[in-house]
Amino acid sequence: MGKFFPKLSQTRVFIQTDEAGNGFNCPMLPVSALEEMNACSELMSKVDSVDALESVRKRMIALAQTVLPREFAENLNRFDIPMLSELIAYLMYGDGDDLPKEPESPKKN
């Protein structure tokens, strides 16, 4: 029996947009975008001014906007750099779960 590598065929990720588990399936970044992602990471390690930081942030936003639906892509300007980094990593690598999550049941006191 062969080894199972589901990432070889994964092309979409599920992005949850609210606590109820709603969201959307989004195309993953193409492998060709890995170079731009790595360039942003490299530039981030060399940032020496607020302008340089904002320039890298804009590149990160542009990268994520290549796959996000327009209605969500416009809101990326609200994301700080750690949140953008997390989103881009998810769009590039995904995780094992490309399906909607079940809503969490309220905790009883």
* Digit-coded pLDDT (tens) for 49-84: 999 999 999 999 999 999 999 999 999 999 999 999
Q: What is the mean pLDDT of residues 102-108?
A: 61
pLDDT digits (tens, 9 = 90+) for 4-35: 887 888 899 999 999 998 999 999 999 999 99
Q: Tell me if 90 sits within 8 A of 25, measured CB to CB.
A: no
pLDDT at 98: 47
pLDDT at 103 over 80: no
Question: Residue 12, SS3?
Answer: strand
Strand partners, 15: 24
Q: Tell me if 103 sits within 8 A of 19, measured CB to CB.
A: yes
Q: Tell me if 104 sits within 8 A of 20, measured CB to CB.
A: no
Q: Supply the pTM of this predicted model.
A: 0.79
